[in-house]
Amino acid sequence: MQKDLSNYRKSYKKSELSEGSVMENPMEQFQKWFYEVEATNGLDEPNAMTVSTIGLDGFPKNRMVLMKKYTHEGFIFYTNYQSEKGKAIAKNPAMCLSFFWPNMERQVIIKGNAEKIAENLSDGYFESRPVGSQLGAVVSDQSEVIPSKEFLEEKLDALEKEYDGKEIPRPEYWGGYLVRPVSFEFWQGRPNRLHDRIRYTLQEDFDWKIERLAP
């Protein structure tokens, strides 16, 4: 089986990016771009990001996760700490996040180190979730092999009855991570594949070095 995709072509020409136009702080630049993407209403989930970790088997693995908050410190997402990604982060907290916004012909690649957020912050977010999402976090031994879909549905049915009319506590194995960036790359598609790539690298004095990369 094969399919030749060599004729897939697109010219990128919606915007440009220069050293003189970017913010001095990459989080401010990220916020600027995020606001612009949101304003277009061209994506259902502009907060969807690829999370890349190095697994216990030594292989990198990517998966889509929803960013739930960003601050001057970094990016926050939530997951099961005992999942495949949670175990990978526990062994090696160095990871990569990437956002792809095709409607703006942009992507952002962030390297950083992950750490668990405070328990009260995870509690607060868990309490804000719909009941179904809360139960889903409790019922799923994320990344573990299960015998069938019915097995999971039966567990969920039992939990719905157990917690009917009751508050659902956050499981200790579920919570948030903060990824503290050490590097950002902002990529803007340009004609003739001469894309704009601006990289920020965190320095020892906590300033950010700004450089242009060849496309």
What residues are labeled active site?
193
CA distance 189 to 13: 7
Q: How many CA atoms lie within 13 A of 174 on its CB side?
A: 20
C-alpha distances in Å from residue 123, one per residue of 15, 83, 170, 176, 199: 41, 19, 6, 9, 35
Q: Which of 63, 76, 79 is nearest to 133 (CA)?
A: 79
* Cα radius of gyration rounded to whole Å, the chain: 20
CA angle, corner 119, sides to 117 and 123, nearest 5? 110
CB 181 within 8 A of CB 110: yes
Q: Which residues pair with 69 in a beta bridge?
A: 76
d(CA 74, CA 112): 9
